[in-house]
């Protein structure tokens, strides 16, 4: 479904991603793991049309998307939940969700029902101003906003960041349920333990390159190696 090959990305003279290739099949949940600064977010931003790569191919369902804008990529069916829980703070939960539906491909009422079924908490709080909600609720809303666009491929950048452990569990319960419903997911997660407990396959990045990849069982067998890469 998503096939990335030979991806290279920079910020001015700073090379963030050197040569990255990976794929995420239909209905699969795949993790990108790596230490701070390894290039995980840059890879996701490139895939989602938020950062223009220098070279490489990014194909979504056999269509090249590497030169498209974020908006065009969303219309093709790939949605990102970037680092840092982006919600429109002064708007209500439901207004945030409605705005995203407008950018996407799906039917608003159907998508809203799906989001509220996944996150009953958001339904309870649908009139609440987004900026006044807890970090966990805002992360649920950020994921909900991405789902409102009816993505074939959902891309999540560190959904657990800054959340209390019990809230992390709630957010990951929802991610696992989405995966079981057949949603394809590309996940970046600093916490390798969580990522390996939910994903089918993982790629390990170090300084802009993939240094290891395999099924979760295989990578767990390389636990020492993994630790070395992630520190
Ligand atoms: N806007 C930017 N301008 C300049 N350099 C950047 C920018 N964003 C990232 N970098 C650099 O690019 C490299 C990769 O960063 P990236 O954010 O992709 O890493 P990451 O794996 O997501 O790290 P983290 O775990 O801290 O989120 C790092 O060396 C980082 O300092
Ligand atoms: Mg990052």
Where would I find the beta strands (DSSP E) of 36-120? 55-60, 63-64, 78-81
| pLDDT above 90: residue 226 | no
Tokens at residue 83, please?
A: 């680092």
Q: DSSP assignment of the chain, as one string?
A: -EEEEEEEEEETTEEEEEEEEEEE-TT-EEEEEE-TTSSHHHHHHHHTTSS--SEEEEEETTEE-TTS-HHHHHHHTEEEE-TT----TTSBHHHHHHHHHHHSSS-HHHHHHHHHHH-HHHHHTTTSBGGGS-HHHHHHHHHHHHHTT--SEEEEE-TTTT--HHHHHHHHHHHHHHHHTT-EEEEE-S-HHHHHHH-SEEEEEETTEEEEEEEHHHHHHTHHHHHHHH-
Rounded CA separation 118/116 (Å): 5
Give the other-Cβ count within 10 Å of 137's Cβ. Answer: 22
Decide: 46 in ligand 1 pocket, CB within 6 A. no
- Rounded average pLDDT over 110-118: 96
Question: Would you state the pLDDT for residue 230?
Answer: 72
Per-residue pLDDT tens digits for 134-168: 999 999 999 999 999 999 999 999 999 999 999 99
Of the pLDDT bands very low, low, confident and very high (cuts 50, 70, 90), residue 231 is low
Decide: 17 in ligand 1 pocket, CB within 6 A. no
190 alpha carbon, closest ligand: 1
Mean residue pLDDT of the chain comes to: 93
13 alpha carbon, closest ligand: 1
| pLDDT above 80: residue 229 | no
Which CATH number fits the domain 2-230, given the four candidates 3.40.50.720, 3.90.550.10, 3.10.20.740, 3.40.50.300? Answer: 3.40.50.300
Domain range list for the chain: 2-230
| pLDDT above 70: residue 225 | no
Q: Give, using CA atoms, the residue closest to atom 25 of ligand 1.
A: 36
Q: At 180, is the secondary structure helix, strand, or coil? A: helix
Decide: 191 in ligand 1 pocket, CB within 6 A. no
Report CA(93)–ligand 1 centroid distance (Å). Answer: 30
| pLDDT above 90: residue 190 | no
Report the nearest atom of ligand 1 relative to the CA of 42. 18
């Amino acid at each position: 479904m998503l096939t990335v090959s030979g991806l290279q990305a920079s910020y001015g003279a700073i090379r963030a991603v050197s040569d990255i290739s990976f794929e995420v099949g239909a209905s699969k949940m795949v993790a990108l793991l790596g230490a701070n600064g390894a290039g995980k977010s840059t890879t996701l931003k490139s895939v989602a049309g938020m950062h223009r790569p220098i070279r490489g191919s990014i194909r979504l369902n056999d269509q090249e998307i590497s030169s498209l804008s974020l908006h065009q990529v969303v219309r093709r069916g790939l949605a990102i939940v970037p680092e840092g829980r982006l919600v429109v703070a002064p708007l209500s939960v439901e207004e945030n969700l409605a705005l995203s539906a407008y950018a996407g491909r799906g039917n608003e009422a159907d998508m809203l029902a799906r989001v509220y079924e996944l996150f009953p908490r958001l339904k309870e709080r649908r009139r609440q101003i987004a900026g006044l909600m807890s970090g966990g609720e805002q992360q649920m809303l950020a994921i909900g906003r991405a789902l409102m666009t009816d993505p074939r491929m959902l891309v999540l950048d560190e959904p657990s960041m800054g959340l209390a452990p019990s809230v992390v569990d709630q957010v990951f319960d929802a991610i696992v349920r989405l995966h079981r419903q057949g949603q394809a997911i590309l996940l970046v997660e600093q916490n390798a333990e969580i990522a390996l407990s939910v994903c089918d396959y993982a790629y390990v990045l170090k300084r802009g390159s993939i240094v290891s990849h395999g099924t979760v069982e295989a990578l767990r067998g390389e636990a020492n190696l993994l630790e070395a890469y992630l520190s």
